[in-house]
Chain A
Amino acid sequence: MSALDTFFAELEKQLGAGSVNRSEETIRRYGENTMAGGDKRPAGVVYPQSTADVQAIVRLANTMKVPLYPVSTGQNIGLGSRSAPREGQVVVDCGFKMNRILEIDEKLAFAVVEPGVSYQALYDELVRRGNKLMLDVTSGPPQGGMIGNALDKGAGYTPYFDHFGFSCGLEIVLGNGEILRTGDGALNSQTLANWHTSKYSFGPILDGLFAQSNYGIVTRMGVWLLPKPPAVRSFHFAFPEDSDLEQIIELARPLKMSNFVPTLFRLANDLYLCGSEGESPEYAASRGKKSISDEGRRALREKHGLGAWNLSGAFYGPSAAAIEPMIQRVIDHFGQIKNTKYIPHEDASQIGPLQVGINAFSGIPSYGELGLLKWRPGGGNLWFLPGTPMDGKIANEFQAICRGVYEEFGMDYMVMNVCGPRFARGLHVMTFNREDPDECARADACYRKMSEAVGERGVFVGRAPVDYHDFHMAQAMPSFRDACNGIKTALDPHNVIAPGRYGIG
């Protein structure tokens, strides 16, 4: 019996029958991803059903020096799926049995969830309880995991968009097997009144150590909820020219700095929106070697009634009538850009790609944006997530750089800038044919070249596909790398939690 066999046998003994899965089909699937670099087969999968189970797994992994790879729930498409950074790690799938909503406090407006709780599950429960509270959702699939998204610094669009920022109070099984509670949960007491209401009481704020890292396995998280507004009214604008981006950013910034508009702005280019409605009309002709033509983009814009850039946001209020004057101010504001087309809420709700935004502003999980994944055949998908300061000139410069690199490698430039007051995350989607080695190589080269190009201009990525964690960590200053690894040694001395995740360990 190999050491791994012994590990799994012992785990099954401790956790019970059905807690280990080493079937070929399972191993193959858990190793799959959408990256250009190929799949990464794990050694097997284990299914904990409690924090105590997670502790048992981590302790045994320490004893037997077996690397683990914890996942929550959802698909994580574009960022690595459930595939570990390296082959041979044991996937700890917390999504199967640790999927309980542990608490909903309607008075203080927070929920406490386990890793397997999806946006849809919490949404359903809030509706069931009378629809008084709203959670912030991504525009990705409803079955995405709340803890996984928050820990990877995912975001939505409502005032509670920052999923890690609006989490409060974690329970973590550290790499050494100990349990840590963050925030006010650190109090050594059985009664924790402020665990999920206050983040900044005594001592250092440790929560951040567990975002985009591998120092422990988070088994519980508090998440703050927004009182549901009686009325949500969105507004949408289509702008005709690529170069309009500069002025759009300049006009959007003050609306966010003043918080006049409570949501983030979804500022998406034509292909990002039209791509969710169909397949590339030019892929077959160019065999994926060329970016879509300007004529092709224009035709798509006309077909869907959209622009080269498209901006969406929303207001909340007691009624549609109460919101209307604010909508009018925004119409006047963006009307300063030549040939701007305003798309009202009702019209937008009948346009698929804009309805996705309305749902997101309303805290309703939806599937609409998944259509982007079939823009090109073959199932390849990478997300490139740099950001830009909310400065029109800089944003436009980045557009030119990235658009140029996409075209150099025959990719189709799809991006949504999610705009806050000072910073916009640029969600660049790269779809490519993973069954075509040449296209895979171009996608990989495109990703690396863009990372280096924006890096030279002082821009780091945010979230990153698992294949590029080492690459990006190498872009960091040496002392940052040393600090990350030093913390790893302290909290996970045998390097058993996701070695290599985010380039650590």
Chain B
Amino acid sequence: MQTSFSPQQLARPEIAEADGILRTCVHYGFCTATCPTYVLFRDENDSPRGRIDLIRAMLEKGGAPDAKTVHHLDRCLSCLSCVTTCAVKVDYTHLIDIARSYIERHFRRPLGERMLRLLLAQTLPYPRRFIAAMKLARLARPLAGVMPKRLGNLLQLAEREPRTELVKPQVIPAEGRRRMRVLLLTGCAQQALDADINAATIRVLTRHGCEVVIAEGAGCCGALPLHMGREDEGRALARRNVAAWSREWTDGIGAVVVNASGCGTTVKDYGHLLGTDEAKRIGAMTRDVTEILADLDLQVQPDWKPYRVAYHDACSLQHGQRVTAPPRQLLRKAGFEVIDLPEKHFCCGSAGTYNLLQPEIAQTLGQRKAAHADSVDPDVIAAGNLGCMVQIGRYTQVPMLHTVSLIDWATGGPMPLALQGRTLREPERKPAQPERKPAQPEPSPSIAPASIETPPTSNDSGFW
């Protein structure tokens, strides 16, 4: 794509970066076929290709963007499905971030929207504030029906009684011989909404020989404000984490472990966001918890029941981080039967704050995803991101669990809270066989799994 920025515009780093990205787009359009909003609306402006054009026009023109542009860019989920699909590998990830930041700086939103965004930005990244807000929201739940849709959705977050627990800075020793020392990001909203995830992560890591360090001063990764274009706030949170982790950094640190894939995508990109050597080092050392566990020798419980697990690929994990094989390998190794969802490349509508800011589209996508999950008749649905769990959980009766909670349970941890009090079906089949070969390097995400990686065919129909 040709662009026409002035030399003055190109002197600004973010415009120069955007220009380089824009020039790579040649409008093949593969992105459209996997873009949730284009699939829903068939509107060019709601496709990645169309949005790239809108961004180009907005940045070239300068000044305040028009409402139409903002409308369509706001509707982008940043699910990055387009990045996986793109034939020429347009760096849409950073382009949409630049655009969101530009809009935040140059566009005056209506008062109600500004207030909502401010509320989210000042609450979600801070666990104590979020917990307090949840308590207030529970009191206000009777008013949900008469409140504006978006506020009503906020109150829905408080529908269930979450298990809240703030993890204090500490060092949790490995059980037995220490094999690795890792920093764990305990996150923000996750601590307020589902403390079980961090607890299970710590249990499973320590059980497998990891010493877990919770660093003093680390908190929200910055993804939530960044997702709303609040770049300065996002950077500030990222800097705080880099500083906190750098203080703990010793030669023995093997990785920064993240168990919320939305955060993982952001932390892995700290090098780009902050540009410092420390940030680059941390970004390069960051791993999703399933990547770490895949490298450890999973202590599988004998005679584990092969419950049927529908695995949902969080967009941030499959498109943002290109981590698709390790969660499946782990779950299978632990003895579960793992089922892929139809349309697994598609977003569930959670997308950071998207389900709060774009509730109608998010609801459509959430219902669509939950229907796909239900259609494979699972005992549980697993995902590697809290946002997806909350979002899909709204539209299905099937228990929704974090992958690490299942791994913890299957390797000696307690039954996950979400399953307690439920009766799961007695599995009919034998556990899936462990991988025939040692864990292989993960295939490129742009390449579907080769035949050797597909689930074993349970029944060859007698043809063979």
Contacts and interface: CB of A to CB of B under 8 A. Distances in A.
B447 A232 contact: no
Interface string B39-67: 00011110001100100000000000000
Contacts of B345: 120
Contact of B30 (A125, A358, A370): A370
Contacts of A356: 447
Given A75-B29, A132-B461, A124 B451 contact: no
A130 interface: yes
B33 A74 contact: yes
A79 B62 CA distance: 37
A359 B43 CA distance: 32
Interface of B: 2, 24, 26-30, 33-34, 42-45, 49-50, 53, 84-85, 87-89, 339-345, 375-376, 437, 440-441, 443-444, 446-452, 454-455, 457-461, 463-464
B342 A81 contact: no
Contacts of A346: 437, 452
29 contacts: A29-B44, A77-B30, A81-B29, A118-B33, A120-B345, A121-B342, A124-B340, A125-B342, A132-B459, A132-B461, A133-B461, A141-B33, A143-B33, A143-B85, A227-B464, A228-B460, A318-B464, A350-B441, A359-B448, A359-B449, A359-B450, A361-B451, A362-B451, A364-B448, A373-B88, A374-B89, A377-B26, A379-B88, A434-B26
A30 B50 CA distance: 12
Interface in A191-239: 227-230, 232
B464 A317 contact: yes
Interface string A307-344: 00000000011100000000000000000000000000
Given A350-B441, A378-B26, A367 B85 contact: yes
Interface string A77-96: 10001000000000001001
Given A127-B340, A227-B461, A25 B45 contact: yes
A368 interface: yes
Interface residues of A, number: 65
Please report whether the interface of chain B is mostly helix, strand, loop or mixed according to DSSP.
loop
Contacts of B88: 373-374, 379
Top 8 A-B pairs ranked by shortest CB distance?
Answer: A379-B26, A362-B451, A227-B463, A143-B33, A124-B342, A370-B87, A366-B448, A25-B44
A367 B441 CA distance: 18
Given A349-B452, A350-B440, A368 B30 contact: no
Contacts of B454: 131, 362, 364
Contacts of B441: 350
Contacts of A367: 84-85, 446-448
A352 B28 contact: no
B446 A368 contact: yes
Given A125-B342, A230-B457, A371-B87, A362 B450 contact: yes
A32 interface: yes
Given A23-B44, A378-B26, A128 B342 contact: yes
Contacts of B464: 227, 229-230, 316-318
A51 interface: no
Nearest to A24: B44
A93 B43 CA distance: 13
A34 interface: yes
Interface string A409-425: 00000000000000000
A25 B341 CA distance: 33
Contacts of B375: 128
A434 B88 CA distance: 14
